[in-house]
Amino acid sequence: MNEPIPVSRAVDGGTAKLMPDLDRPHAWLLTVDGAPQSYVDLDDPAHLEFEYARRIAHVLDAAADPGGPLDVLHLGGGALMLPRYLAATRPGSHQVVIEADRGLLELVAEHLPLPSGAGITVRRQDARTALETAPEGSADVIVADVFGGSRVPAHLTSVEYARAAARVLRPGGWYVANLADGAPFAFLRSQLATYRTAFAHLALIAEPSVLRGRRFGNAVLVASQSEPPVAVLARRTAADAFPARVEYGAALERFMGGAAPVRDADATPSPEPPDGAFSVG
């Protein structure tokens, strides 16, 4: 049998590469300009290689009774890592994936096609536009994993954007976002203050080394109008290969400090990661 070979193609956002994992016969790593975007195992879509993706998956696992279907809006598609996970673990879920990069969508559809009946609809659209035009109260969960290169675009970091997300969620729904920052956490703290304007409850999941400012890294934001299952999330994230901590309540308020919310007029992208923070190959 022929060994899988890497695929490289120019897409809207740069140079996308699909690289096979030699340890898993039908698993692929997607990068754009060297930054990891998705890891997909076509034989085992419930396998999540990225730590931040497993933390988001813990939130998805806790969002409803085990195996029950969810209506989920994904902002940012990549290789459809988390939509595939949810289709495998919660059959019957209805998922809409928004991805602005046409070239990336075509690459993934060609080389990593979705199985029939997955319940996943993929649309080429700007994430903010999709959110503002989505029906009110139409989603159980919104998953935001949108990066232009290695940075969250500015128009997805504001009070206006956060309020649009809150409008689309059903009562009890959750907004979950992959963010990235390092000390002194000006961006991450401002994001917490921003989402506080639209949601009653916030939690943050990250490795202790990131939260202590020892390195730049991912942090998963959870926002909702009802109290999240902090104890469940803390237990699951602590048991991961790279354990994480859940900040909530007074501890999160201390971390936030006196940060101010960001409005559209003042919004900026997330910070540029240091060299080598996420790049591979």
Within a domain: 273: no
Examine the pLDDT at 1 and tell me if it is beyond 60: no
Helix, strand or coil, per DSSP, at residue 122: strand
Task: Give 228-234 contacts, CB < 8 A, sequence gap 24+.
Answer: 228/59, 228/62, 228/174, 228/201, 228/203, 229/62, 230/203, 232/62, 233/58, 233/59, 233/62, 233/203, 233/205
How many percent of the chain have pLDDT more than 90?
91
pLDDT tens by residue, 193-216: 999 999 999 999 999 999 999 999
Give the pLDDT band of residue 148 (cuts 50, 70, 90).
confident
pLDDT tens by residue, 162-171: 999 999 999 9
Within a domain: 102: yes
What is the span of the domain harbouring residue 245?
Answer: 46-266
Sequential DSSP letters for 204-257: EEE-HHHHTTSS-EEEEEEEESS---HHHHHHHHHTSSS--EEEETHHHHHHHT
Examine the pLDDT at 280 and tell me if it is beyond 70: no
Within a domain: 12: no
pLDDT tens by residue, 101-127: 999 999 999 999 999 999 999 999 999
Give the pLDDT band of residue 150 (cuts 50, 70, 90).
confident
pLDDT attached to residue 278? 65
Here the CATH number for the domain that contains residue 131 is: 3.40.50.150
Examine the pLDDT at 149 and tell me if it is beyond 80: no
pLDDT attached to residue 3? 76
pLDDT attached to residue 275? 77
> What integer best gives the mean pLDDT of the chain?
95
- Total structural domains within the chain: 1
Q: Read off the pLDDT of each residue in 31-54 and give the average, rounded to a whole number.
A: 95
Within a domain: 4: no
Q: φ and ψ at 109, to 5 degrees? A: -60, -35
Within a domain: 153: yes
Within a domain: 109: yes
Examine the pLDDT at 50 and tell me if it is beyond 70: yes
Examine the pLDDT at 228 and tell me if it is beyond 90: yes
How many percent of the chain have pLDDT more than 70?
97
Give the span between the Cα atoms of 163 and 197, in whole angstroms.
8
Q: Which of 150 and 208 is assigned the larger pLDDT? A: 208
Structure tokens at 177: 């976002």
Within a domain: 149: yes
Within a domain: 56: yes
Q: Read off the pLDDT of each residue in 22-40 and give the average, rounded to a whole number.
A: 93
Give the pLDDT band of residue 268 (cuts 50, 70, 90).
very high
pLDDT tens by residue, 64-97: 999 999 999 999 999 999 999 999 999 999 999 9
Examine the pLDDT at 277 and tell me if it is beyond 80: no
